[in-house]
Amino acid sequence: MFGGNGLCSLRWDEASERVEVIDQTALPHQLRWIALNTLDDYCHAITEMQVRGAPLIGITAGFGLAHAIAQDASDAALDAAHQRLLSTRPTAVNLRWALQQVSSAVRLLDPALRPDTALQTAQRLRAEDIASCERIGSHGLMLLQGLARGETLNVMTHCNAGWLATVQWGTALAPIYKAHSEGIPVHVWVSETRPRNQGMHLTAWELQSAGVPFTVVADNSCGQLMQQGMVDCVIVGSDRTAANGDVCNKIGTYLKALAARASDIPFYVALPASTIDWQCPRGEEIPIEERGVSEVLAVSGADIDGAIREVKLVADGVAAHNPAFDVTPAALVAALITEHGVFQANTESLHALQSQLDVV
Amino acid sequence: MFGGNGLCSLRWDEASERVEVIDQTALPHQLRWIALNTLDDYCHAITEMQVRGAPLIGITAGFGLAHAIAQDASDAALDAAHQRLLSTRPTAVNLRWALQQVSSAVRLLDPALRPDTALQTAQRLRAEDIASCERIGSHGLMLLQGLARGETLNVMTHCNAGWLATVQWGTALAPIYKAHSEGIPVHVWVSETRPRNQGMHLTAWELQSAGVPFTVVADNSCGQLMQQGMVDCVIVGSDRTAANGDVCNKIGTYLKALAARASDIPFYVALPASTIDWQCPRGEEIPIEERGVSEVLAVSGADIDGAIREVKLVADGVAAHNPAFDVTPAALVAALITEHGVFQANTESLHALQSQLDVV
């Protein structure tokens, strides 16, 4: 069990037969569980980023499709729910992958048999995600052990690729949790991750809860920390990785990869194989979600009385641009850490991984 | 007169014989002038960043020293006020330079003659800064004219190096204002500049007031904009530039310089010669100010009722690190735009500039 505390981002409540998720928009100020009772609830939770992180988006959508099938198991309803969930967010490929897993599992079945199979498939995806992340942690741990010199090992991360972005463990944070458990003196540089501050809101909260030492910095500080020798490696997650190893991840990831290269620091990407889009040859073909400009022009936080408030940073009438992701060229990536092992970020190496998956 | 509107960041009020400055911590929500009545007021205004920007810090300190001399023109009082003002902020070298200008001007005079000379010297520094920035604008304009192709010219900047950072015109924004006046269709990418958001709070306000088209983006977006061919050049200011051309500027500048190099985009630095520290051989010897962590962990903005509020972004007990500046290696700088012309960022070229200054 992760960290001994059993925390997870999404759970199935047997009594109500409903999925419950942590509302991540309320963190770090409140730990609030919400029940997903309707397909609308599922779509809203994904669109509004109450759940986020490529693996968790996929699993949530899988349960959402199972929920829709339980209401109406016809082909038409299945297709409509599938399409609706698929359109919630454009970049994370795990969404498409998980929906396909559930749809394929039930498509050839008699409608009467579909609800149970769909739910079991969603449950299996959830269980597999936990197991995958645990293995990502083990593979990443070996890399960290190779870098550890007895002194504090300084790992930089971006956004949140912890257990909140998956179900348990996380991707980028899984090796860090493993290293911490193993007694490696690890310290994490947490970049705040504007505009939505997932580093500050989510990663800091996760690490604080787990007792892992960390320091929050503005995204702008990350280059200087690397110049000054304060970073031993960078580990981030991915929302979609192309078949050539180009990595799409939270906006700002590319700048960290450039700085890591300039200071000769290994830049790792931790991801389940379900995040690799085998149909996408290059990063530039990945659709980049453009989100509302209020994410840039206003910020939410806790007021002095503890109430969550949004404050506006600019005068009225200011234009903004808010892409949610960027693409880091494969050439800047030292390695991809997957549940199947550590792979180089290039077409040949990923082809080998794909062959391995086909055999399985 | 700049922009035809006569706005400036610091003015001498003849009636009260006091300096008045715009309180930049209240922008963009309120345009509030404050009078500096005591040496404490001057020090507080600089430390708390009511005035900021290397040139404006220097000029404010020059008037502060003149104010102190008007109260007590003895050697001991002069030295004490000089030291006190010098210790307000460590990085901007214009502070040291301006204080030296005023001190040197009065040091050999009879104390009775010191107050008038000190004030005249501060007034001269202010007038020279306006003239220098105007010339920086003209030299930079030539570079922008060279890049202009009739279509929109997209210039990225960081932090605020506009007239709020100087007295009028600005450094990095001066060429942009000139280009806009000349009818070149210029558009500015304004990076928000966490943690204090000077891009969002100050540069956006300046450009909006002047009618220059611009778009605000998170600092994290700047690499992607360059990858996508949306940026024709980057122009930033500097708080201190070493004799070898290494540029110290607002934290996050280095990441933009790396991204500009990766996408083959010219990265310019606009600065008066007073920002060059001839005694400092390399950027790594420049002292970097570490500011309070609340700048990272909380954000101020306007609430729905227009009141300025600070909201907290993290749970209690979270550690942060908040360096105010970073150093961009000279090799990443396409050119330094000064009031004396455009120079390459290297020791030889800056030596030529220094020789030119010595002759003057």
CA-closest candidate to residue B17, choices B78, B71, B95, B88: B71
Structure confidence at residue B1 (pLDDT): 41
Q: How many CA atoms lie within 13 A of A18 on its CB side?
A: 12
What's the confidence (pLDDT) of residue A305? Answer: 87
Q: What is the pLDDT of residue A156?
A: 98
Distance of alpha carbon B69 from alpha carbon B76, whole angstroms: 10
What is the mean predicted confidence (pLDDT) over B249-263? 98
The Cα B281–Cα B147 span in angstroms is: 32
Mean pLDDT lowest for which of A24-28, A147-151, A305-309, B13-17?
A305-309
N- to C-terminal Cα separation, chain B? 26
- Pick from B221, B222, B286 the residue to mutate for testing the A interface (most A CBs within 10 Å): B221
Say whether residue B152 is in contact with chain A using an 8 A CB cutoff. no
Confidence of residue A306 (pLDDT cuts 50, 70, 90): confident
pLDDT at residue B150 in the model: 87
Residue type, A160: N
The verdict on a CB contact (< 8 Å) between B223 and A252 is yes
- Which residue among A252, A304, A311 places its CB closest to the CB of B302? A311
Residues making up chain A, counted from first to last: 360
Choose the mutation target among A226, A255, A293, A312 for the interface with B, i.e. most B CBs under 10 Å.
A255
**B-chain residues near A227 (CB < 8 A):** 254, 326-327
Which tokens is A306 given? 């503890």
| Chain B: closest CA distance from residue A251 (Å) | 6
Per-domain residue ranges for chain A? 10-129, 137-357
- pLDDT (tens digit, 9 = 90+) per residue, B24-57? 999 999 999 999 999 999 999 999 999 999 999 9
Using the CB atoms, write b or e for B132-159: b if 16+ within 10 Å: bbbbbbebbbebbeeebeeeebbbbbbb
CA distance B302 to chain A (A): 5
Nearest to B218 among A217, A251, A288 (CB): A251
**Residues of B noted as catalytic:** 239
Out of B309, B313, B318, closest to residue A197 by CB: B313
* A224 interaction partners in chain B (CB closer than 8 Å): 251, 254, 288, 323, 326-327
Q: Is the pLDDT of residue B12 over 50?
A: yes
- Rounded to 5 degrees, what angle do the CA atoms B88, B90, B91 make? 130
State the pLDDT at residue B257. 98
Please count the other Cβ atoms lying within 10 Å of the Cβ belonging to residue B281: 13
Torsion of CA A124, A125, A126, A131, to 10 degrees: 90
pLDDT at A3: 43
Q: Is the Cβ pair B259, A259 closer than 8 Å?
A: no
| Cα gap B165→B185, rounded to integer Å | 24
- Among all residues of chain B, which has the CA nearest to that of A304? B311
A35: contact with B, CB 8 A cutoff: no
Token duo for residue B57:
């810090």
Confidence of residue B6 (pLDDT cuts 50, 70, 90): low
Closest partner CB to B302 (pick from A194, A304, A312): A312
CB distance B208 to A318 below 8 Å? yes
* Pairing mode, strands A308-312 and A325-328: unpaired
Order of strands, edge to edge, in the sheet holding B267-270?
B214-217, B186-191, B153-157, B233-236, B267-270, B335-338, B341-343
Interface contact flag, B313 A221, Cβ < 8 Å: no
**pLDDT of res. B246:** 98
Percent of chain B with pLDDT over 90: 94
Cα-Cα end-to-end distance for chain A: 26
- Scanning A173-232 for CB atoms below 8 A from B yields 192-195, 197, 200-201, 204-205, 208, 214-225, 227
Taking the C-alpha atoms of residue B125 and residue B19, their distance in angstroms, rounded to an integer, is: 14
Q: Do A219 and B223 touch (CB under 8 A)?
A: no
Task: Write the CB contacts of A80 (distance below 8 Å, at least 6 apart in sequence).
Answer: A68
Rg of chain B over Cα atoms, rounded to whole angstroms, equals 20
Per-residue model confidence (pLDDT) at position B202: 97
Asked if A322's CB is within 8 angstroms of B299's CB, the reply is: no
pLDDT at B3: 43
Chain A closest CA to B285's CA: distance in Å? 12
Contacts of A251 in chain B (CB under 8 A): 218, 220-221, 224
pLDDT of residue A220 exceeding 80? yes
Which CATH number applies to A137-357: 1.10.10.10, 3.40.50.300, 3.20.20.70, 3.40.50.10470?
3.40.50.10470
Q: What is the pLDDT of residue B65?
A: 98
Q: How confident is the model at residue A7 (pLDDT cuts 50, 70, 90)?
A: confident
Report percent pLDDT > 70 for chain A.
98
Asked if the model's pLDDT at residue A228 lies above 70, the reply is yes
SS3 B237: coil
List, for residues A14-42, the tens digit of each pLDDT value. Answer: 999 999 999 999 999 999 999 999 999 99
pLDDT of res. A100: 97
pTM for this entry: 0.96
**Tokens 């972005």 correspond to what residue?**
A165
Digit-coded pLDDT (tens) for B125-172: 999 999 999 999 999 999 999 999 889 999 999 999 999 999 999 999
Summarised one tens digit per residue, pLDDT across range B287-334 is 999 999 999 999 999 998 888 899 999 988 999 999 999 999 999 999
Run of H or E residues at B300: strand B298-302
pLDDT tops 90 at residue A120: yes
Chain A residues with CB under 8 Å of B192 CB are: 194, 296, 313
H runs (alpha helix) in chain B = 39-47, 54-71, 75-86, 93-107, 114-147, 173-181, 198, 204-210, 222-227, 253-262, 294-297, 347-359
| Confidence class for position B360, pLDDT limits 50, 70, 90 | low
**Closest CB to B311 among A227, A302, A326:** A302
> Distance (Å) from the C-alpha of residue A21 to the closest C-alpha of chain B?
21
* CATH 1.20.120.420 matches A10-129: yes
Which chain B residues touch A259 with a CB distance below 8 Å? 254-255, 258
Average pLDDT over every residue of B256-282 = 97
**A309 interaction partners in chain B (CB closer than 8 Å):** 303, 309, 311
Q: What is the pLDDT of residue B7?
A: 81
**Confidence class of residue A1 from pLDDT cuts 50, 70 and 90?**
very low
Contacts with A219 from chain B: Cβ below 8 Å:
194, 218-220, 252
